Amino acid sequence: MNLDANTYQVYAKGYGKKSPVLRDCACAFLVGGIICCIAEGLYRLYLHLGIPETNVRILTPVSMVTLAALLTGFGWFDKIAKFAGAGTLVPITGFSNAVVSPAIDTKAEGFVLGVGAKMFIIAGPVIVYGTLASVVWGVIYYFLHRGGIV
Amino acid sequence: MKNKGLIRIQNPPTILSSAAVVGKKEHDGPLGADFDLHAEDDRFGMDTWEKAESEMQRLAFGLMLKKCRMREDDVDAIFAGDLLNQCTGSSFGLLDFGIPYFGLYGACSTMAESLMLAALTVGNNIFNRAAAVCSSHFCSAERQFRFPIEYGGQRTPTSQWTVTGSGAMLVANDGGGPYVTEVMPGISVQKGITDANNMGAAMAPAAVDTLTRYFSCSGTVPEDFDVILTGDLGAIGHDITMELLYSSGFNIRSVYNDCGLMIYSAKEQDVHAGGSGCGCSGTVICGPVMKRLRQGIYKNVLFIGTGALMSPGSVQQGMPIAGIAHLVRISSELPGTLVSGEERGGSNG
C-alpha cells in the first residue's frame, strides 16, 4: 500500500456512514422540547402552590437536576440520551448527568480520589468556561452600560 | 530484499485446548452458542468492572485447562494482555495460577500476539506448553478510554462496541493439531487518522501491510485458506482492507471476514461499525473458529489480530493513531502437506 497519510485520510473519509444530522436534530428538538415543557409545567405548578416566584425560579432547575440525577442513577438517562442527543445534553439535565455519571462510575476508587476528584471530569470545563464567559460578558456589559447603550 | 518477517515454525506446535468466556450481549449474538461460558449481568459476581474482567480471564484459563485435563503445573508460561492500564486485567486474573507470566500490550491484537509468542517459544523448544490469554470488557474499556457508563452521549456511526469476553489457548509440543505453522509479527503503521471513534480506518493500513507482506513472501494465495480473519476492523476497516488489497492484486473477498462483524448482529444489537477489543478476536478464535477447526469445517485459517496503538492522552494531544496487525496461520494439517511456494530461507532457524 503506497498511499501517503494525506491521501489515505481523504480515502478513509469516503467510507462509513455519516451521522443522520436531520434525524438527530428532529429527535433533539422533540425531546429537548418535552424537557422544557416538563420544566414549564413544574414552574406553573410551584406558582400555583403559592411559592414566591423568586423561589420558583430556583426550585424549577433544582427539580430538573434532581430528576436527571435520579434517571442517571436508575440507568435510564443514557438510553433516553442515545435517542435525544443534544435534546438531553443542552438543557440543565445534561449537566446533571455529566456530574452524576462519573460520580457513580468512580465510587470504587473511594470518596476522595474517586467520587470527589472525578465528579467534575466532564462538567468541570463547563463550569470553568461558563464562569469565565460570564466575567467577560460582565466587563462588556459594564462598558455598554457606561456608554448608555444598554 | 528486506526480510519481510514471515516465520515458518520448524516444529509447529498444537493448539491443545481453548476456551472463550463472554458477556450477555456476546452470548446473544450470532456466535453465542459457540462460546463456552457467559454471565447474565457482565459483572461475573464482582463489585467492579475491572475485577469482572480479571474474573473472565481466570474463568477462561481455568476452563481451558479443564478441557484438556491439565493442571497449572503442566503449563510452563502464560503470555497475556488486555486493554487496561498496566495490563491489570491479566496480572490480577492470572495471579492465582502461579505460572511464569509475560504481560503483553498489543491493544486489540493481543490474542494474535500472545498466540504467536506462545507458538514460537513452544515451537523452538523453550517451553513444552505455553498459554495465550487476553480479555476486554465493555465497561472497563469505556471508563478508561471514553466516558462513564451512565453518561448520556451519542456514538458515531463509525464507532465500535468493545467486546466483553476473554479467550485462552494452550499451545503444546505434543498433540495432533490444529497446528500453528506460520506467524508474522506486525509493523506499526500510521496513516494520520486521529479520530478515536474510527479505529477501523486507523488499523486497516496495518492489516493491509501485514497481508501484503505475507502473500508476497509466503507463496500462498487467498484461496488457499478457508477463512482469512481480521481481529476487529469492523465494517469500515473491513471494506478498506479488502479494497486496498484488491488494488495491490490480492482478491480476498470470497474468504475474508472480520471477527468484529461476526460476533454481533450489527442491526439488531446496535453496535454501529461492529465489535472491538482484545476479547473480540480472542473469543471468536478460541470459541467458534477453534470449534470449526476441530470439526474439520476449516483446515486452514489465517488470523490477523489488529490493534490500535493509542491512549486517551495521546488522542487528546492530537497524536495520530497507529495500527498493528499480527498474523498467525492455523492449519489442521502439518506443514509437509501445506501449500507453499518458493521456500524462503528459514527465518526461524
Q: What pLDDT, in 10s, does the model give residues B96-146?
A: 999 999 999 999 999 999 999 999 999 999 999 999 999 999 999 999 999
Q: In terms of domains, do A88 and A134 share one? A: no
The pLDDT mean for chain A works out to 94
Measured between CB atoms, does B235 come within 8 Å of chain A? yes
Is residue A136 a part of any domain in this protein? Answer: yes
Q: Are B132 and B303 in contact (CB under 8 A)?
A: no
The whole-angstrom separation of Cα B126 and Cα B119 is 10
The amino acid occupying position A1 is M
- Nearest residue of A to residue B270, measured between CA atoms: A82
Which of A52-66, B36-50, B144-158, B198-212 shows the lowest per-residue confidence on average (mean pLDDT)?
B144-158
The amino acid occupying position B98 is G
Chain A: closest CA distance from residue B206 (Å):
10
Measured between CB atoms, does B143 come within 8 Å of chain A? yes
More confident residue, A75 or B3: A75
- What residues contact B72, with CB distance under 8 A and at least 6 apart? B65, B97, B98, B99
Contacts with A21 from chain B: Cβ below 8 Å? none
Q: Are B141 and B166 in contact (CB under 8 A)?
A: no
Q: Are B172 and B11 in contact (CB under 8 A)?
A: no
Measured between CB atoms, does B273 come within 8 Å of chain A? yes
Look at domain B179-337 and name its CATH class.
alpha beta
**Residues spanned by CATH 3.40.47.40 within chain B?**
7-172, 179-337
Is residue A100 a part of any domain in this protein? Answer: yes
- What residues contact B252, with CB distance under 8 A and at least 6 apart? B211, B222, B228, B242, B245, B246
Is residue A129 a part of any domain in this protein? Answer: yes
The H or E element spanning position A41 is helix A21-48
Instruction: Say whether A12 and B47 touch across the interface (CB within 8 A).
Output: no
The whole-angstrom separation of Cα B320 and Cα B299 is 38
Overall average pLDDT of the B304-313 stretch: 96
- In this predicted structure, what is the pLDDT of residue B334? 87
pLDDT band at B348 (very low <50, low <70, confident <90, very high): very low
Q: In terms of domains, do A74 and A134 share one? A: no
Chain A: closest CA distance from residue B183 (Å):
21
pLDDT band at A18 (very low <50, low <70, confident <90, very high): confident
Chain A: closest CA distance from residue B262 (Å):
18
Overall average pLDDT of the B274-299 stretch: 97
Contacts with B236 from chain A: Cβ below 8 Å? 12, 15-16
The whole-angstrom separation of Cα B142 and Cα B137 is 8
A vs B: CB pairs below 8 A:
99
The whole-angstrom separation of Cα A24 and Cα A30 is 10
- In this predicted structure, what is the pLDDT of residue A150? 82
Q: In terms of domains, do A99 and A149 share one? A: no
Give the orientation angle of helix A77-84 with respect to helix A53-73, to 10 degrees.
100
E strands within A3-51? Answer: none
Chain A: closest CA distance from residue B255 (Å):
20
E strands within chain B? Answer: 7-8, 14-22, 37-38, 77-81, 101-104, 129-136, 161-162, 165-172, 179-184, 189-190, 227-230, 256-258, 275-276, 300-309, 322-331
Q: In terms of domains, do A91 and A63 share one? A: yes
Say which of B154, B155, B244 has its CB closest to residue A1.
B244
- In this predicted structure, what is the pLDDT of residue B266? 84
The whole-angstrom separation of Cα B87 and Cα B85 is 5
* Residue B19: closest CA among B47, B46, B50, B59: B59
**Residue that the C-alpha cell 486474573 belongs to:** B93
Q: In terms of domains, do A64 and A97 share one? A: yes
- In this predicted structure, what is the pLDDT of residue A28? 95
Pairing of strands B14-22, B37-38: parallel
More confident residue, A145 or B339: A145
Helix and strand element counts for chain A (H, E): 8, 0
Contacts with A85 from chain B: Cβ below 8 Å? 154
Overall average pLDDT of the B12-17 stretch: 97
Q: In terms of domains, do A94 and A26 share one? A: yes
Q: In terms of domains, do A104 and A141 share one? A: no
The whole-angstrom separation of Cα A39 and Cα B151 is 22
How many domains would you assign to chain A?
2
Instruction: Say whether B151 and A101 touch across the interface (CB within 8 A).
Output: yes
- In this predicted structure, what is the pLDDT of residue B2? 54
Best interface-test mutation with B: which of A1, A3, A104, A109 has the largest number of B CBs within 10 A? Answer: A1
Q: In terms of domains, do A111 and A130 share one? A: no
Best interface-test mutation with A: which of B144, B150, B188, B319 has the largest number of A CBs within 10 A? Answer: B150
- Work out the burial of residue A34: count CB atoms within 10 Å of its CB; fewer than 13 is exposed, 13-18 middle, 19 or more buried: middle
Say which of A9, A77, A108 has its CB closest to residue B150.
A77
Is residue A27 a part of any domain in this protein? Answer: yes
Q: In terms of domains, do A64 and A91 share one? A: yes
**Residue that the C-alpha cell 486496498 belongs to:** B244
pLDDT band at B337 (very low <50, low <70, confident <90, very high): low
Instruction: Say whether A81 and B147 touch across the interface (CB within 8 A).
Output: no
Overall average pLDDT of the A55-70 stretch: 97
- In this predicted structure, what is the pLDDT of residue B119? 98
Please give the CATH topology (third level) of the domain spanning B7-172. Answer: Peroxisomal Thiolase; Chain A, domain 1 (3.40.47)
Structure-block grid coordinates of residue B134: 487476553
Overall average pLDDT of the B239-246 stretch: 96
pLDDT band at B345 (very low <50, low <70, confident <90, very high): very low
Say which of A16, A94, A97 has its CB closest to residue B157.
A16
**Residue that the C-alpha cell 442515545 belongs to:** A82
Say which of B50, B154, B157 has its CB closest to residue A17.
B157
Q: In terms of domains, do A93 and A149 share one? A: no
Query: How far from each other are the two terminal CA atoms of chain A, in whole angstroms?
Result: 63
Is residue A111 a part of any domain in this protein? Answer: yes
Q: Is the pLDDT score of B3 beyond 90? A: no
Q: Which domain holds residue A36?
A: 21-119
The whole-angstrom separation of Cα B256 and Cα B237 is 12
Measured between CB atoms, does B242 come within 8 Å of chain A? no
**Residue that the C-alpha cell 475491572 belongs to:** B50
**What percentage of residues in chain B have a pLDDT greater than 90?**
90
- In this predicted structure, what is the pLDDT of residue A17? 78
Q: Is the pLDDT score of B243 beyond 90? A: yes
Is residue A93 a part of any domain in this protein? Answer: yes
**Residue that the C-alpha cell 503445573 belongs to:** B73
Say which of B150, B191, B205 has its CB closest to residue A101.
B150
Is residue A106 a part of any domain in this protein? Answer: yes
**Residue that the C-alpha cell 479443564 belongs to:** B66
- Nearest residue of A to residue B204, measured between CA atoms: A12
Q: In terms of domains, do A134 and A148 share one? A: yes
Chain A: closest CA distance from residue B340 (Å):
24
Q: Is the pLDDT score of B45 beyond 60? A: yes
* Residue B10: closest CA among B284, B288, B336, B277: B336
Structure-block grid coordinates of residue A128: 470553568
Chain B: closest CA distance from residue A29 (Å):
15
User: If DSSP codes are grouped into helix, strand and coil, which group holds residue B82?
Assistant: coil
The amino acid occupying position B230 is T
Instruction: Say whether B151 and A88 touch across the interface (CB within 8 A).
Output: no
Instruction: Say whether A17 and B158 touch across the interface (CB within 8 A).
Output: yes
The whole-angstrom separation of Cα B287 and Cα B285 is 6
Within 10 angstroms of residue B27's Cβ, the number of other Cβ atoms is 18
The whole-angstrom separation of Cα A14 and Cα A4 is 16
Tell me which residues of chain A, numbers 90 to 119, contact chain B at a CB-CB cutoff of 8 Å: 94, 97-98, 100-102, 104-106, 108
Question: For residue B44, is it left (φ>0), alpha (ψ between -120 and 50) or beta?
Answer: left
Q: In terms of domains, do A45 and A115 share one? A: yes
